[in-house]
Amino acid sequence: MKVIELNKNALSSNDADAEILRGELKEKGIFLINLMSAAGSGKTTLISRTITDLREREPGLEIGVMEADIASDVDAAAIEALGAKSIQVHTGGCCHMDAVMTRESLEAFGAFEGSPRIIFLENVGNLICPAEFDTGAHLKVMILSLPEGDDKPLKYPLMFAESDALIITKMDAAPYFDFDIDAACRRAKALNPDIAVFPVSAKTRDGMQEWEAWLLEKAEAL
């Protein structure tokens, strides 16, 4: 037997699959967003609000949502109620989506036919594993909600380091929590100087416009 040195990240095969998927989607003009957060931070609510608002701006805009969950389909049902196309993906006990699972879901969704043009992947609710697995998305967006606390960048650094945008949501609840928004921003930027930060409330719609404008800009630059 001979020794072969590899010195490769254990997830390098996933990284390669993700890169190929990202390129294929781009060629077809499909923009994929990987939305990550802890359970209950407000992913489904933010997606619903964003879809409603974007459709108001651009009535013909086709948006789809892939809801990844270990079980249940309540999130997909909530999206369908808005009249947007959605699919529920069960991860079979897995705590994250990887590039192969994302490709399979996109196939089941019929996305490779070129519609919808903007697709949200609501990842499994958890701040650890989804950060490690590249799904092939063009944009990684994370949500941190006020009740979770401003220390989360210190506890889950990889998620903050990997995300293109940080949405701080449930801002309407600010009077009830001692969340220090400056400290949260400072800690997130120490890990990732380029991260875009959007404080919003999906309930009162405060701050949603800035986030939506940024998102459309990124989608157009694909």
Site string (6-35) toward ligand GTP, x via CB under 6 A: ------------------------------
116 cis-preceded (ω within 30 degrees of 0): yes
DSSP-derived letter for residue 170 is -
Examine residue 169 and tell whether it contacts ligand GTP (CB under 6 A).
yes
Please give the residues from 88 up to 117 whose contact with another protein meets the rule CB under 8 A: 93-96, 98
- Phi, psi dihedrals of residue 64, rounded to the nearest 5°: -125, 160
Residue 119 CA neighbour count, 13 Å, CB half: 33
Q: How far from 39 is each of 20, 42, 159, CA to CA, in Å? A: 29, 8, 14
**Strand, helix or coil at 141?**
strand
Q: Which residues contact 97 (CB under 8 A, 6 or more apart)?
A: 34, 68, 89, 91, 105, 121, 123, 124, 130, 133, 135
Q: Which of residues 60-99 bind ligand GTP (CB under 6 A)?
A: 75
Question: What's the distance, Cα to Cα, between the start and end of the chain in Å?
Answer: 48
- If one asks whether residue 201 binds ligand GTP (CB under 6 A), the answer comes out as yes
Of the pair 75, 150, the CB lying nearest ligand GTP is at 75
Q: Binding string, 97-126, against Mg ion, x = CB under 5 A?
A: ------------------------------
Q: Smallest distance from the beta carbon of 44 to Mg ion, in angstroms?
A: 3
Among positions 110-139, residues that touch ligand GTP (CB under 6 A) are 125
Of the residues 74, 77, 108, 128, which one makes contact with another protein according to CB under 8 A: 128
Q: Which does 169 bind (CB under 5 to 8 A by kind): Mg ion, ligand GTP, another protein, none?
A: ligand GTP
Interface with another protein includes 194 (CB under 8 A)? no
**CA 56, 61, 62, 66 torsion-angle sign:** negative
Check: CB of residue 154 under 8 Å from CB of residue 186. no
Asked if residue 212 binds ligand GTP (CB under 6 A), the reply is no
Select the residue interacting with ligand GTP from 42, 116, 136, 199 (CB under 6 A).
42
List residues binding another protein (CB under 8 A).
1-14, 93-96, 98, 128-129, 133, 151, 154-155, 157-158, 187, 190-191
